[in-house]
């Protein structure tokens, strides 16, 4: 399908809504994206025509639903460039995927072992590793962020050693928009024998992903930022790592046999999917991937960055405007502050004009501390945003600057 933003917008019913009698300009995509009719209808059709619990059932609808659910796993595997569907574990989102990785690797960690993170990580890629610090005596080290929002790669290289057991980094920052060179970092991590975990929550929406080419051991994504449902995500693991990983939850489906004396586990990925899985959500994620995959990723990226730079060019004319994160290689996330104004006040004023942005720490308190700020306002652009919406953002921020000066 050719890229035409108006045709794309017509597929999102919610974008016709008005907020405070103004047309909605939804610029909060880094938090969660809106859903196209293809996803809405896929969920409705599955619920209305063929739904049952998956696996083990012998009746027609159980088989149909299982086929759709496992078909979604195949779509995720192809989307991420995974060798086979069995490399994909369905989770409730990227947060659960990272927790699964941390919990499942805990038995490989001893007191004094080092886990390397970065100052730009989302709390979801910090807190699970703190669990290993608390419970196993691991040492957490944080790669510094440079003033322009880039990762300090020289510092990262110097931190790697024989003590390093896990490196877990974000691919694309949800605040700075910085895109980290994961494929370049992977050989450094492998050289010291460490496990490489990557938070791909933002990256999977804004660039093509091939986990094999990236050289990672684990890679997580979520559905709701990829124009799919909430409550669904995925953890990619290479075959070797999935064998090492211990299960996170226990119950039905993840076991092979259960005895009074012991249990034996199912093979990956089912080993990690206890109980009734998020069936409809997974099918909805598959529909979102089908919908999104009809576009050329280069066209999507070019469009999103055109909207980003159109907004940025206008905002730079505001004297009190300060951009947060200006790395040369970044995605369409525009975090900013107005001197003397609180980000929450800026967001509330923009809402009066129908413009939805996020304000706060964006679950990145260590990054805020590093940058010496309390919070930011954040406009994040997606496939359906327009140059007109960028201009509306600029006009709204100018009004906010005037009101709050």
pLDDT digits (tens, 9 = 90+) for 126-169: 999 999 999 999 999 999 999 999 999 999 999 999 999 999 99
Residue keyed to tokens 């999917």:
273
Task: Render pLDDT for 311-366 as a digit per residue (tens, 0 to 9).
Answer: 999 999 999 999 999 999 899 999 999 999 999 999 999 999 999 999 999 999 99
ω into residue 264 within 30 of 0, thus cis? no
Strand 218-222 versus strand 195-199 pairing type: parallel
User: Residue 138 and residue 93: Cα distance in Å, rounded?
Assistant: 25
Residue 405, pLDDT above cutoff 90: no
Beta bridge partners of 140: 115
Tell me the average pLDDT across 228-248: 97
Domains plus CATH for the chain?
5-31+297-404 (3.90.1150.10), 40-292 (3.40.640.10)
Whether the per-residue pLDDT at 63 is higher than 80: the answer is yes
Residues 6+ apart with CB under 8 A from 263: 250, 255, 256, 257
Name the burial class of residue 113, with classes exposed (0-12), middle (13-18) and buried (19+) by CB atoms within 10 angstroms of its CB: middle
User: Tell me, what's the pLDDT at 102?
Assistant: 98
209 φψ region: left (φ > 0), alpha (ψ -120 to 50), beta (else): beta
Residue 208: pLDDT over 80: yes
- Exactly one of 37, 192, 323, 363 is catalytic; which is it? 363
Q: Can you name the residues that pair with 359 across neighbouring β-strands?
A: 377
* Alpha carbon 103 to its chain's center: 19
- Could you tell me the pLDDT band of residue 1, with boundaries at 50, 70 and 90? low
Q: How far is CA 59 from CA 52, 164, 323, 339, in A?
A: 9, 50, 58, 64
Q: What is the pLDDT of residue 58?
A: 87
pLDDT of 56 strictly over 90: no
Residue, of 73 and 252, whose pLDDT is higher: 73
Catalytic annotation on 363? yes
């Amino acid at each position: 399908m050719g890229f035409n933003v108006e045709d794309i917008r017509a597929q999102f019913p919610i974008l016709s809504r008005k907020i405070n009698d103004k047309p909605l300009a939804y610029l909060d995509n880094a938090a969660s994206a809106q859903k196209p009719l293809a996803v809405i209808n896929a969920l409705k059709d599955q619920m209305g025509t063929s739904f049952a619990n998956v696996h083990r059932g012998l009746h027609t609808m159980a088989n149909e639903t299982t086929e759709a659910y496992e078909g979604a796993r195949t779509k995720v595997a192809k989307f991420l460039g995974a060798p086979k569907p069995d490399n994909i574990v369905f989770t409730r989102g990227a947060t659960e995927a990272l927790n699964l990785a941390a919990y499942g690797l805990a038995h490989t960690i001893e007191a004094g072992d080092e886990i390397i993170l970065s100052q730009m990580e989302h709390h979801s890629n910090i807190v699970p590793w703190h669990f290993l610090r608390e419970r196993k005596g691991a040492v957490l080290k944080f790669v510094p962020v440079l003033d322009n929002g880039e990762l300090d790669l020289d510092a990262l290289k110097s931190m790697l050693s024989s003590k390093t057991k896990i490196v877990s980094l974000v691919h694309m920052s949800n605040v700075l928009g910085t895109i980290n060179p994961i494929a370049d970092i992977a050989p450094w991590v492998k050289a010291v024998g460490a496990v490489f975990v990557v938070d791909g929550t933002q990256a999977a929406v804004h660039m093509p992903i091939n986990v094999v080419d990236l050289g990672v051991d684990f890679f997580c994504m979520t559905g709701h930022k990829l124009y799919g449902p909430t409550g669904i995500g995925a953890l990619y693991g290479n075959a070797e790592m999935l064998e090492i990983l211990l299960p996170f939850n226990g119950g039905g489906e993840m076991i092979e046999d259960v005895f009074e004396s012991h249990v034996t586990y199912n093979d990956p990925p089912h080993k990690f999917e206890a109980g009734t899985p998020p069936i409809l959500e997974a099918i909805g994620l598959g529909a979102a991937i089908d919908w999104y995959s009809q576009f050329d990723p280069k066209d999507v990226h070019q469009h999103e960055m055109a909207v980003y730079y159109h907004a940025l060019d206008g905002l730079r004319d505001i004297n009190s405007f300060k951009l947060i994160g200006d790395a040369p290689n970044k995605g369409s996330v525009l975090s900013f502050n107005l001197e003397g104004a609180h980000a929450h006040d800026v967001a509330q004023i923009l809402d009066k004009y129908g413009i939805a942005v996020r304000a706060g720490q964006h679950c990145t308190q260590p990054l805020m501390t590093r940058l010496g700020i309390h919070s930011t306002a954040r406009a994040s652009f997606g496939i359906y945003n327009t140059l007109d919406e960028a201009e509306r953002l600029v006009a709204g921020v100018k009004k906010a600057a005037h009101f709050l000066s």
